[in-house]
Copies of this chain bind each other. A is one copy, B any other.
Amino acid sequence: MQFTKVENNKNSAILKISAKDQKGLVAAVTQFIAKYEGNIIDLEQHVDDIDQEFFMRVEWCLDQFKLSTTELESLFAEKIGQPFSMDWSINYSTVIPKMAIFVSKMSHCLLDILSRYQSGELRVDIPIIISNHQDLESIAKILKIEFVYLPITRENKQQQEAKQLALLKDKKIDFIVLARYMQILSEDFTAQYPNRVINIHHSFLPAFPGAKPYHSAHARGVKLIGATSHFVTVDLDEGPIITQEVARVAHTDSIDDLVRKGRDLEKITLARAIWHYVNHKILVWKNRTIVFR
């Protein structure tokens, strides 16, 4: 099954930086890019007024750029990164990231992601879908994506996670999407993919963490329900928030109605988080995200 592919002919580098604020940072970086004939397409820079921390994302066209990626990275490290004590990373628009999807039984987030993948909206490779249930295997088959069924019990959790991690390494997975995967990842697992596991939680966090948020929302009588996509950390539902959406509800909405309306929030919110991740628009600082435009 193959639909209209969105072409993306952009050949650009994306540099993300966080550093202690100091004079001349932007000038140093942009001069470096200009020196080697890079033309900047987009630059966003912000200084946090509490921490005096500097954040920047700059994207430039590589068409006439004079450095190879290897030269770029080693020269940048030497001339800019180290002198200014930066945390930095460079990504390239032509490199397609590899994404693994974890699911349980619910299909709405998975189908939505795959629909975007098929249309070319999400420029990723999806070498594997891992699940603790077999319900969604047929969907993976249609798209000829490998589907690995690894049921989880209290007893086998550690060894099944070891298998998951081996599969992820083997497939050279860059990041993981939990598309309503109803299992908590262990501390060990989480530590191996810091800020690289994206979850969707079905409430506007920090309200209603944990299980059954729609039931809690109904009981509390809130007038808005929400969904939150965030990076997974060892503290459940406490990781850096990437994006959040809400929808209006009323007394006429039963719990089933909240679940139904929530599914739309969940799939849209998760898809936006993935899109921002794949387009290298997210930095993490102190359990918060900087999400560039």
**A contact set with B: CB distance below 8 Å:** 1, 3-4, 6, 21-28, 30-31, 33-34, 37-50, 55-56, 105-108, 111-112, 115, 118-119, 121, 135-136, 138-139, 142, 204-208, 220-224, 226, 240-244, 246, 248, 250-252, 254-256, 260, 263-264, 268, 271, 287-291, 293
Minimum CB–CB distance from A225 to chain B (whole Å) comes to 10
Q: How many copies does the complex hold?
A: 4
| CB nearest to A141 among chain B residues | B1
Point out the residue from B39, B40, B106, B240 that lies within 8 Å of A221, measured CB to CB.
B240
User: What chain B residues lie within 8 Å of A28 (beta carbons)?
Assistant: 34
Minimum CB–CB distance from A243 to chain B (whole Å) comes to 5
B204 in contact with A204 (CB, 8 Å): yes
A246 in contact with B221 (CB, 8 Å): no
A251 in contact with B288 (CB, 8 Å): yes
A-B contact pairs, 24 of them (CB 8 A): A1-B138, A1-B139, A4-B135, A21-B39, A23-B37, A24-B34, A25-B40, A26-B40, A26-B43, A27-B30, A42-B47, A43-B44, A46-B251, A115-B115, A121-B260, A121-B263, A204-B204, A204-B224, A205-B222, A220-B287, A222-B241, A246-B246, A251-B290, A264-B268
| CB nearest to A256 among chain B residues | B6
